[in-house]
Amino acid sequence: MNKRPVPAGADTNTRAYLIFFSYLGTCALLTAYVVQKLLKNYVVLSKSTTARPPPRRHVLLFISLAAGSLLTTWYYMMRYFKVSYQVWLMWRSYYDFSDDQNHWGLWLRDTSLFKEAWEIAIVGNARYWWTQQIFFFACALGLVLEQKGVRRGIRHTWVFMVIGQLVSISFATNLFLIALLLSPPAPPSPSVASSSKRSWLGPWLINFAAIIATEYPAYLLADDVYWHSKNFLPVLLLPHLALLVLPLARAIVPARYFPDDDVEFMERAYKYLWGVTIFAGFLVYRHVTGLAYNYAGIVGMINAILEHPAVSSVGFDVVFCWITWFFWWRIQKQGVAGVEEYEKEEDDSWSGAATTTAGASDGGVLRRR
Protein backbone atom coordinates (compact mmCIF):
# COMPACT_ATOMS: atom_id res chain seq x y z
CA MET A 1 0.00 0.00 0.00
CA ASN A 2 1.38 3.43 -0.98
CA LYS A 3 0.99 5.88 1.87
CA ARG A 4 0.60 9.62 1.38
CA PRO A 5 3.39 11.89 2.61
CA VAL A 6 2.75 14.08 5.62
CA PRO A 7 1.56 17.55 4.46
CA ALA A 8 4.42 20.03 4.39
CA GLY A 9 4.62 22.32 7.39
CA ALA A 10 1.78 20.58 9.22
CA ASP A 11 3.92 18.51 11.52
CA THR A 12 6.36 20.96 13.05
CA ASN A 13 4.68 20.68 16.50
CA THR A 14 4.79 24.49 16.82
CA ARG A 15 1.03 24.87 16.82
CA ALA A 16 0.60 21.92 19.18
CA TYR A 17 3.04 23.30 21.72
CA LEU A 18 1.53 26.78 21.47
CA ILE A 19 -2.03 25.64 22.07
CA PHE A 20 -1.24 23.03 24.68
CA PHE A 21 1.16 25.09 26.78
CA SER A 22 -0.95 28.25 26.46
CA TYR A 23 -3.84 26.29 27.94
CA LEU A 24 -1.73 24.80 30.71
CA GLY A 25 -0.05 28.13 31.34
CA THR A 26 -3.39 29.89 31.79
CA CYS A 27 -4.52 27.23 34.26
CA ALA A 28 -1.25 27.46 36.20
CA LEU A 29 -1.17 31.27 36.32
CA LEU A 30 -4.75 31.60 37.54
CA THR A 31 -4.23 28.89 40.14
CA ALA A 32 -1.00 30.53 41.32
CA TYR A 33 -2.83 33.86 41.61
CA VAL A 34 -5.49 32.34 43.85
CA VAL A 35 -3.00 30.39 45.98
CA GLN A 36 -0.91 33.54 46.49
CA LYS A 37 -3.97 35.44 47.71
CA LEU A 38 -4.93 32.59 50.04
CA LEU A 39 -1.44 32.48 51.53
CA LYS A 40 -1.45 36.24 52.02
CA ASN A 41 -4.76 36.13 53.87
CA TYR A 42 -3.56 33.27 56.05
CA VAL A 43 -0.34 35.10 56.94
CA VAL A 44 -2.29 38.23 57.88
CA LEU A 45 -4.57 36.23 60.15
CA SER A 46 -1.65 34.31 61.67
CA LYS A 47 0.28 37.47 62.56
CA SER A 48 -2.67 39.31 64.02
CA THR A 49 -2.65 39.78 67.79
CA THR A 50 -6.42 40.20 67.98
CA ALA A 51 -7.59 37.41 65.71
CA ARG A 52 -6.73 33.88 64.73
CA PRO A 53 -7.15 31.89 61.54
CA PRO A 54 -10.14 29.55 61.14
CA PRO A 55 -9.71 25.98 62.45
CA ARG A 56 -6.74 24.44 60.68
CA ARG A 57 -8.52 21.12 60.16
CA HIS A 58 -11.15 22.85 58.04
CA VAL A 59 -8.58 24.57 55.86
CA LEU A 60 -6.58 21.35 55.50
CA LEU A 61 -9.75 19.44 54.62
CA PHE A 62 -10.53 21.64 51.63
CA ILE A 63 -6.88 21.82 50.62
CA SER A 64 -6.87 18.01 50.54
CA LEU A 65 -10.08 17.92 48.52
CA ALA A 66 -8.69 20.50 46.08
CA ALA A 67 -5.49 18.50 45.62
CA GLY A 68 -7.39 15.23 45.25
CA SER A 69 -9.74 16.77 42.70
CA LEU A 70 -6.89 18.26 40.68
CA LEU A 71 -4.83 15.08 40.64
CA THR A 72 -7.76 12.80 39.80
CA THR A 73 -9.44 14.86 37.10
CA TRP A 74 -6.19 15.75 35.40
CA TYR A 75 -4.83 12.24 35.56
CA TYR A 76 -7.78 11.23 33.40
CA MET A 77 -7.48 14.37 31.31
CA MET A 78 -3.89 13.45 30.39
CA ARG A 79 -5.05 9.92 29.63
CA TYR A 80 -7.71 11.41 27.38
CA PHE A 81 -5.07 13.34 25.45
CA LYS A 82 -3.09 10.13 25.00
CA VAL A 83 -6.09 8.09 23.88
CA SER A 84 -7.18 10.83 21.51
CA TYR A 85 -3.77 10.90 19.88
CA GLN A 86 -3.63 7.11 19.60
CA VAL A 87 -7.06 6.93 18.00
CA TRP A 88 -6.17 9.70 15.59
CA LEU A 89 -2.90 7.96 14.73
CA MET A 90 -4.73 4.73 13.98
CA TRP A 91 -7.28 6.40 11.70
CA ARG A 92 -4.61 8.49 9.96
CA SER A 93 -2.42 5.50 9.16
CA TYR A 94 -2.60 6.34 5.46
CA TYR A 95 0.14 8.90 6.12
CA ASP A 96 3.75 7.77 5.97
CA PHE A 97 4.47 8.58 9.61
CA SER A 98 7.91 8.16 11.12
CA ASP A 99 7.96 6.09 14.29
CA ASP A 100 10.54 8.26 16.05
CA GLN A 101 8.52 11.50 15.99
CA ASN A 102 5.30 12.65 17.63
CA HIS A 103 2.95 14.19 15.10
CA TRP A 104 1.16 16.51 17.50
CA GLY A 105 0.84 19.38 15.06
CA LEU A 106 -1.09 17.33 12.54
CA TRP A 107 -3.12 15.73 15.33
CA LEU A 108 -4.25 19.07 16.74
CA ARG A 109 -5.04 20.34 13.25
CA ASP A 110 -7.41 17.45 12.69
CA THR A 111 -8.86 17.20 16.19
CA SER A 112 -11.12 19.52 18.18
CA LEU A 113 -10.21 18.36 21.68
CA PHE A 114 -12.82 20.47 23.49
CA LYS A 115 -15.72 19.30 21.34
CA GLU A 116 -14.45 15.72 21.17
CA ALA A 117 -14.12 15.43 24.95
CA TRP A 118 -17.63 16.75 25.57
CA GLU A 119 -19.11 14.54 22.86
CA ILE A 120 -17.55 11.48 24.49
CA ALA A 121 -18.81 12.54 27.93
CA ILE A 122 -22.34 13.38 26.74
CA VAL A 123 -23.19 10.91 23.97
CA GLY A 124 -24.66 7.89 25.73
CA ASN A 125 -27.36 7.97 28.39
CA ALA A 126 -25.25 6.28 31.07
CA ARG A 127 -22.29 8.57 30.44
CA TYR A 128 -24.47 11.66 30.48
CA TRP A 129 -25.87 10.64 33.84
CA TRP A 130 -22.49 11.64 35.24
CA THR A 131 -21.87 14.62 32.98
CA GLN A 132 -25.20 16.40 33.50
CA GLN A 133 -24.47 16.78 37.19
CA ILE A 134 -21.51 19.07 36.52
CA PHE A 135 -23.92 21.66 35.10
CA PHE A 136 -25.71 21.76 38.45
CA PHE A 137 -22.48 22.16 40.40
CA ALA A 138 -21.31 24.88 38.00
CA CYS A 139 -24.52 26.77 38.84
CA ALA A 140 -23.86 26.23 42.54
CA LEU A 141 -20.37 27.68 42.18
CA GLY A 142 -21.74 30.70 40.32
CA LEU A 143 -24.28 31.35 43.07
CA VAL A 144 -21.85 31.09 45.98
CA LEU A 145 -19.33 33.30 44.16
CA GLU A 146 -21.87 36.09 43.98
CA GLN A 147 -23.69 35.52 47.26
CA LYS A 148 -20.65 35.13 49.52
CA GLY A 149 -17.60 36.24 47.56
CA VAL A 150 -18.49 39.85 46.85
CA ARG A 151 -19.52 40.49 50.44
CA ARG A 152 -16.15 39.23 51.67
CA GLY A 153 -14.15 41.47 49.40
CA ILE A 154 -13.32 38.74 46.88
CA ARG A 155 -13.71 40.98 43.89
CA HIS A 156 -12.12 38.78 41.23
CA THR A 157 -14.64 35.98 41.42
CA TRP A 158 -14.22 35.47 37.68
CA VAL A 159 -10.88 33.77 38.36
CA PHE A 160 -12.61 30.92 40.20
CA MET A 161 -15.19 30.45 37.45
CA VAL A 162 -12.52 30.39 34.74
CA ILE A 163 -10.51 27.87 36.79
CA GLY A 164 -13.68 25.81 37.12
CA GLN A 165 -14.19 25.74 33.37
CA LEU A 166 -10.54 25.20 32.42
CA VAL A 167 -9.42 22.88 35.21
CA SER A 168 -12.39 21.43 37.09
CA ILE A 169 -15.46 22.71 38.92
CA SER A 170 -14.62 20.80 42.11
CA PHE A 171 -11.07 22.21 42.21
CA ALA A 172 -12.35 25.78 41.80
CA THR A 173 -15.08 25.20 44.40
CA ASN A 174 -12.58 23.99 46.99
CA LEU A 175 -10.28 26.95 46.32
CA PHE A 176 -13.18 29.34 46.75
CA LEU A 177 -14.37 27.73 49.98
CA ILE A 178 -10.83 28.09 51.35
CA ALA A 179 -11.01 31.74 50.31
CA LEU A 180 -14.26 32.09 52.28
CA LEU A 181 -12.63 30.56 55.35
CA LEU A 182 -9.76 33.04 55.15
CA SER A 183 -11.70 36.15 54.11
CA PRO A 184 -13.75 37.87 56.82
CA PRO A 185 -16.96 39.58 55.74
CA ALA A 186 -17.36 43.33 56.05
CA PRO A 187 -20.13 44.66 58.31
CA PRO A 188 -23.15 46.30 56.64
CA SER A 189 -22.63 49.81 55.33
CA PRO A 190 -24.22 52.52 57.54
CA SER A 191 -26.11 53.78 54.49
CA VAL A 192 -28.06 50.53 54.20
CA ALA A 193 -29.98 51.04 57.41
CA SER A 194 -31.05 54.55 56.41
CA SER A 195 -32.02 53.64 52.88
CA SER A 196 -35.77 53.75 52.37
CA LYS A 197 -35.79 53.00 48.66
CA ARG A 198 -35.68 49.33 47.75
CA SER A 199 -35.31 48.08 44.20
CA TRP A 200 -35.88 44.54 43.04
CA LEU A 201 -33.42 45.09 40.22
CA GLY A 202 -29.95 43.72 40.85
CA PRO A 203 -27.21 41.28 39.89
CA TRP A 204 -29.36 38.41 41.11
CA LEU A 205 -31.36 38.73 37.89
CA ILE A 206 -28.22 37.94 35.89
CA ASN A 207 -27.66 34.90 38.09
CA PHE A 208 -31.24 33.82 37.51
CA ALA A 209 -30.72 34.07 33.75
CA ALA A 210 -27.46 32.12 34.08
CA ILE A 211 -29.27 29.31 35.92
CA ILE A 212 -31.83 29.00 33.14
CA ALA A 213 -29.10 29.24 30.48
CA THR A 214 -27.24 26.39 32.19
CA GLU A 215 -29.88 23.94 33.31
CA TYR A 216 -32.06 24.18 30.19
CA PRO A 217 -29.21 23.23 27.82
CA ALA A 218 -28.32 20.44 30.25
CA TYR A 219 -31.87 19.14 29.85
CA LEU A 220 -31.71 19.45 26.04
CA LEU A 221 -28.42 17.58 25.77
CA ALA A 222 -30.07 14.47 27.19
CA ASP A 223 -31.91 14.19 23.86
CA ASP A 224 -29.93 12.25 21.25
CA VAL A 225 -31.25 14.66 18.62
CA TYR A 226 -28.59 17.13 19.73
CA TRP A 227 -25.70 14.67 20.00
CA HIS A 228 -24.65 14.71 16.35
CA SER A 229 -26.34 17.86 15.13
CA LYS A 230 -24.89 21.25 14.27
CA ASN A 231 -26.62 22.65 17.38
CA PHE A 232 -24.53 20.54 19.75
CA LEU A 233 -21.70 23.01 20.20
CA PRO A 234 -23.87 26.17 20.56
CA VAL A 235 -26.04 24.45 23.17
CA LEU A 236 -22.92 23.29 25.00
CA LEU A 237 -21.22 26.69 24.90
CA LEU A 238 -24.24 28.60 26.24
CA PRO A 239 -23.76 27.53 29.90
CA HIS A 240 -20.02 28.23 29.70
CA LEU A 241 -20.64 31.79 28.55
CA ALA A 242 -23.66 32.49 30.76
CA LEU A 243 -21.83 31.59 33.96
CA LEU A 244 -19.01 34.01 33.12
CA VAL A 245 -21.18 37.08 32.49
CA LEU A 246 -21.67 38.28 36.07
CA PRO A 247 -18.17 37.45 37.41
CA LEU A 248 -16.57 39.27 34.47
CA ALA A 249 -18.96 42.19 34.85
CA ARG A 250 -17.93 42.48 38.50
CA ALA A 251 -14.30 42.78 37.42
CA ILE A 252 -14.93 45.32 34.64
CA VAL A 253 -17.92 47.45 35.62
CA PRO A 254 -17.59 49.89 38.56
CA ALA A 255 -19.21 48.67 41.77
CA ARG A 256 -21.64 51.61 41.88
CA TYR A 257 -23.55 50.05 39.00
CA PHE A 258 -24.43 47.00 41.09
CA PRO A 259 -27.39 47.85 43.37
CA ASP A 260 -26.84 45.15 45.99
CA ASP A 261 -26.42 47.15 49.22
CA ASP A 262 -29.70 45.82 50.60
CA VAL A 263 -28.28 42.74 52.32
CA GLU A 264 -31.63 41.55 53.64
CA PHE A 265 -33.27 41.63 50.21
CA MET A 266 -30.27 40.02 48.51
CA GLU A 267 -30.22 37.17 51.04
CA ARG A 268 -33.89 36.54 50.37
CA ALA A 269 -33.31 36.70 46.61
CA TYR A 270 -30.47 34.21 46.74
CA LYS A 271 -32.49 31.91 48.94
CA TYR A 272 -34.99 31.67 46.09
CA LEU A 273 -32.19 31.33 43.55
CA TRP A 274 -30.82 28.33 45.43
CA GLY A 275 -34.31 26.88 45.38
CA VAL A 276 -34.57 27.42 41.62
CA THR A 277 -31.13 25.86 41.07
CA ILE A 278 -31.91 22.78 43.15
CA PHE A 279 -35.35 22.35 41.58
CA ALA A 280 -34.01 22.73 38.02
CA GLY A 281 -31.12 20.41 38.80
CA PHE A 282 -33.54 17.85 40.19
CA LEU A 283 -35.67 17.98 37.02
CA VAL A 284 -32.61 17.39 34.83
CA TYR A 285 -31.33 14.66 37.16
CA ARG A 286 -34.68 12.87 37.21
CA HIS A 287 -35.03 13.05 33.43
CA VAL A 288 -31.52 11.80 32.70
CA THR A 289 -31.66 9.12 35.42
CA GLY A 290 -34.81 7.67 33.84
CA LEU A 291 -33.17 7.52 30.43
CA ALA A 292 -29.93 6.06 31.78
CA TYR A 293 -31.67 3.45 33.92
CA ASN A 294 -33.80 2.24 31.01
CA TYR A 295 -30.72 2.08 28.82
CA ALA A 296 -28.05 0.57 31.08
CA GLY A 297 -29.48 -0.13 34.52
CA ILE A 298 -27.88 0.91 37.79
CA VAL A 299 -24.71 -1.13 37.23
CA GLY A 300 -24.25 0.31 33.76
CA MET A 301 -24.76 3.85 35.04
CA ILE A 302 -22.09 3.44 37.70
CA ASN A 303 -19.64 1.62 35.44
CA ALA A 304 -19.93 4.32 32.78
CA ILE A 305 -17.55 6.53 34.76
CA LEU A 306 -14.66 4.28 33.73
CA GLU A 307 -15.65 3.72 30.10
CA HIS A 308 -13.39 6.47 28.76
CA PRO A 309 -10.87 8.91 30.31
CA ALA A 310 -12.98 11.90 29.17
CA VAL A 311 -15.98 10.51 31.07
CA SER A 312 -13.80 9.68 34.08
CA SER A 313 -12.44 13.23 34.26
CA VAL A 314 -15.93 14.74 34.39
CA GLY A 315 -17.33 11.91 36.53
CA PHE A 316 -14.74 12.24 39.27
CA ASP A 317 -15.16 16.00 39.12
CA VAL A 318 -18.79 15.34 40.03
CA VAL A 319 -17.78 12.93 42.82
CA PHE A 320 -15.48 15.52 44.38
CA CYS A 321 -18.20 18.17 44.08
CA TRP A 322 -20.58 16.01 46.10
CA ILE A 323 -17.91 15.36 48.76
CA THR A 324 -16.93 19.04 48.94
CA TRP A 325 -20.44 20.38 49.35
CA PHE A 326 -21.26 17.68 51.89
CA PHE A 327 -18.37 18.70 54.13
CA TRP A 328 -19.12 22.39 53.68
CA TRP A 329 -22.73 21.72 54.68
CA ARG A 330 -21.53 19.80 57.76
CA ILE A 331 -19.23 22.63 58.81
CA GLN A 332 -21.95 25.25 58.39
CA LYS A 333 -24.47 23.06 60.21
CA GLN A 334 -22.11 22.74 63.17
CA GLY A 335 -22.06 26.50 63.43
CA VAL A 336 -18.32 26.66 62.83
CA ALA A 337 -18.09 29.50 60.38
CA GLY A 338 -14.40 30.19 60.89
CA VAL A 339 -13.98 33.68 59.54
CA GLU A 340 -17.61 34.56 60.15
CA GLU A 341 -16.39 35.81 63.51
CA TYR A 342 -13.75 38.11 62.05
CA GLU A 343 -13.80 41.55 60.60
CA LYS A 344 -11.20 42.75 58.13
CA GLU A 345 -9.98 46.32 58.35
CA GLU A 346 -6.79 46.55 56.30
CA ASP A 347 -5.72 46.17 52.70
CA ASP A 348 -8.03 43.86 50.85
CA SER A 349 -5.73 41.29 49.29
CA TRP A 350 -8.44 40.14 46.87
CA SER A 351 -9.60 43.43 45.42
CA GLY A 352 -6.25 45.15 45.66
CA ALA A 353 -7.83 48.25 47.13
CA ALA A 354 -7.74 49.59 50.64
CA THR A 355 -11.12 49.24 52.28
CA THR A 356 -12.37 50.43 55.63
CA THR A 357 -14.98 48.22 57.22
CA ALA A 358 -15.08 49.79 60.64
CA GLY A 359 -14.16 52.97 62.43
CA ALA A 360 -10.71 54.41 61.94
CA SER A 361 -10.09 54.17 65.67
CA ASP A 362 -9.74 50.42 65.33
CA GLY A 363 -6.31 50.97 63.81
CA GLY A 364 -6.74 48.92 60.64
CA VAL A 365 -6.40 45.51 62.26
CA LEU A 366 -8.34 42.28 62.22
CA ARG A 367 -10.82 42.68 65.01
CA ARG A 368 -12.79 39.79 66.43
CA ARG A 369 -16.46 40.41 66.83
Residue type, 313: S
Backbone angles phi, psi at 343, to 5 degrees: -130, 125
Residues 6+ away with beta carbon under 8 Å from 159? 30, 33, 34
Instruction: Name the 3-class secondary structure at 309.
Output: helix
Q: 227: which residues sit within 8 A by CB, 6+ positions away? A: 119, 122, 123, 221
Cα distances (Å, whole numbers) of residue 129 to 121, 278, 294, 303: 9, 16, 12, 11
Amino acid at 128: Y
Q: CA-CA distance, 272 to 267, in Å (whole number)?
A: 9
At residue 29, the pLDDT reads 96
- CA–CA separation, 368 vs 340, rounded Å? 9
Res 153: pLDDT: 80
- DSSP-based three-state secondary structure for 368: strand
CA distance 107 to 6: 11
The three-state DSSP-derived secondary structure of 91-110 is HCCCECCCCCCCCHHHHHHH
pLDDT in tens, 349-360: 554 433 333 333
End-to-end CA distance of the chain: 80
Q: At residue 7, does pLDDT exceed 50?
A: yes
227-271 pLDDT tens trace? 989 999 999 999 999 999 999 998 888 877 777 667 788 888 899
What type of residue sits at position 51? A
Q: Strands, E, within the chain: which ranges?
A: 342-343, 367-368
How many angstroms separate the CA atoms of 294 and 296, rounded? Answer: 6
Containing 112, the helix (H) or strand (E) segment is: none
Across 88-96, average pLDDT = 70
Query: In this predicted model, what pLDDT tens digit does every residue of 162-195 receive, in sequence order?
Result: 999 999 999 999 999 999 998 876 555 544 444 4
CA atoms in the 13 A half-sphere facing the CB of 262: 16
